[in-house]
Copies of this chain bind each other. A is one copy, B any other.
Amino acid sequence: MSTQGRKGNTRQRIQDVALGLFSEQGYEKTSLREIAEKLEVTKAALYYHFKTKEDIVISLFQDLSRPIDELIVWAEEQPRSLETKREVIRRYSEALRSAGPFFRFLQENQAAVRDLSIGEGFKERMLTLFGLLNEPESELTDQVRCITALFSMHAGMFAMQNVKGDPEEKRKAILEVATELVTAANPPSRRPARPDSAQTASP
């Protein structure tokens, strides 16, 4: 009974352990032997559940990027307003909270993951998100603001580990800054009429 609950959920356990090790040590540095040992099964057992090492990452990606896919789907049927954009940011922040380790893994292993098949998948999703926040003809600085908003949410999570404070508080602070950036990137001039605004004069 020492290893109870070990019935039929091996696949899941592999994913858990693999994600743990991948994000702790990196993808290349984590060997299947290591994963197998930690699970107290043989390497061959992993191959019963996953065709290749890459397959494990793919399965993680599919499972963990679902919230983001849903976010994209949702956003695409909303009006393209500042409000929507802010909501995208908010929801994205929440999605990251649950899929934290996986995104840390992606962030820290970009080079390793680049030519795995999900490399593209990830990049594509990021670009789609970017497209949801950014107006194509916007100024360069505004584009930077949007990208920064997105990235700060990834990076922030672990870049702020040295900063003391409650993780949830930090997340909120990050969210606030990201929201500001997106707001600034979508100046009123571009938004449906706002009579008083200064800052512009575009016809």
Contact = CB atoms under 8 A, between A and B. Distances in A.
Contacts of A135: none
Contacts of A183: none
A176 interface: yes
A147 B160 contact: yes
Given A28-B28, A110-B107, A156 B148 contact: yes
Q: Is the interface of A mostly helix, strand, loop or mixed?
A: helix
B26 A170 contact: no
Chain A interface category by residue count:
35 or more
Looking at A107, A111, A152, the one whose CB has the most chain B CB atoms below 10 A away is A111
Number of identical monomers bound together in the oligomeric complex: 4
Interface string A190-203: 00000000000000
A114 interface: yes
A116 to B, nearest CB: 11
A143 B152 CA distance: 12
A162 B127 contact: yes
A68 B43 CA distance: 39
A155 interface: yes
Contacts of A169: 140
A26 B144 contact: no
Interface of A: 23, 25-29, 105, 107-112, 114, 127, 139-141, 143-145, 147-148, 151-152, 155-156, 159-160, 162-163, 165, 169-170, 173-174, 176-177, 180-181, 184
6 contacts: A23-B111, A26-B112, A28-B29, A105-B111, A108-B114, A109-B112
7 cross-chain pairs, A with B, having the tightest CB-CB distances, nearest first = A26-B111, A28-B28, A108-B110, A140-B173, A108-B111, A148-B152, A151-B155
